[in-house]
Amino acid sequence: MSANGRLAGKRALVTGSGTGIGREIAAEFARQGADVVLHYSHSDAGARSAVKEIKALGRRATAVKANFDSVDEAIGLGEQAIGFLGGIDCLVNNAGITMNKPFLEVTREQFDVLYHVNIRAQFFLTQTVAKDMLKHGGGAVCNITSIHGFQGAPEHSVYAGTKGAIIAYTRTLSVELACQGIRVNAIAPGWVTVDNYYKAIPGFNEKDACESARNAVPVARAGRPLDIAQLAVFLCSDEAGYIVGQTIIADGGTTALMSLISDFRTRSTARFGTGYVPGV
């Protein structure tokens, strides 16, 4: 697989790849033939273990620490990745943080941290990498946003704002860079169970999560990091060469479901159309 995959010979940088979705994206890129630079901001355990797994596939890999509250460190990450790989063909902007807090209680510092990490660092890292891509004919950028950019959830005004910004920025940047050989797209994941769920939600466990997802998500399950990783591979591959400026929603049907529907699994007892639509 590593010699003949969709990304054979490609060089990739995946941000926020020490855990969860980002780690799986980095691993899947390697399984599909790419050399990978991983990024982490705090603990290096997950990124370092992923590096070992990737090297075992015969691919080049390293992990670089960068605090995305600092533009200089984000730019430095890009420069180190370019130096290690000799250039970058694929950039996956996965790094991001979240917070839930009532709108009236949000502080300036909290607002700034989320926007710095989720959009400002991504913007200037992409600028750094795009300059390198242009030197060798182009490349692909995949930004990870969220369905929070499409639907509203209480206490997520700051987080949702950053994710909406990524969607708009993806669309605009794509039309500026496409003619220069750089394709830019995004993925908006829905519920994907990752380690943070267990840390942030009191009493969260796999059994209850599976039951909740079965009842709430049309596809009857939560997403897996691999679901997002495989889509990222496709968007960065030559097979997606005519896809530009799109945000692909990968949420098991969550945003497709009308919120007014109380139970989508059972046949409705309502009979709209009776008396004026034949056969109803």
Domains and CATH numbers, the chain: 11-250 (3.40.50.720)
Local structure of 27: helix, strand or coil: helix
Please confirm, yes or no, whether 276 is among the known catalytic residues.
no
Rg (CA), the chain: 20
Q: What is the pLDDT of residue 3?
A: 56
> pLDDT confidence of 2, banded at 50, 70, 90?
very low
Handedness of CA 78, 81, 83, 89 (dihedral sign): negative
Could you report the per-residue pLDDT of 194-242, keeping only the tens digit for each? 877 777 788 888 888 888 889 889 999 999 999 999 999 999 999 999 9
Judge whether residue 21 has pLDDT over 90. Answer: yes
Beta strands in the chain (DSSP E): 11-14, 35-40, 61-65, 90-93, 139-144, 182-189, 247-250
Could you report the per-residue pLDDT of 123-166, keeping only the tens digit for each? 999 999 999 999 999 999 999 999 999 999 999 999 999 999 99
Strands 182-189 and 139-144, sheet pairing:
parallel
Please tell me which residue in 40, 159, 169, 242 is annotated as part of the active site.
Answer: 159
Mean pLDDT of all residues belonging to the chain = 94
Three-state secondary structure readout of 91-102: EEECCCCCCCCC
Over range 33-54, report the average pLDDT.
95
Q: What is the pLDDT of residue 77?
A: 98
Q: What is the pTM of this model?
A: 0.93
> pLDDT confidence of 70, banded at 50, 70, 90?
very high
CA–CA separation, 196 and 205 (whole Å): 12
> pLDDT confidence of 1, banded at 50, 70, 90?
very low
* Cβ atoms of 236 and 7 closer than 8 Å: yes
Could you report the per-residue pLDDT of 161-207, keeping only the tens digit for each? 999 999 999 999 999 999 999 999 999 999 998 877 777 788 888 88
Helix (H) or strand (E) holding 243: none
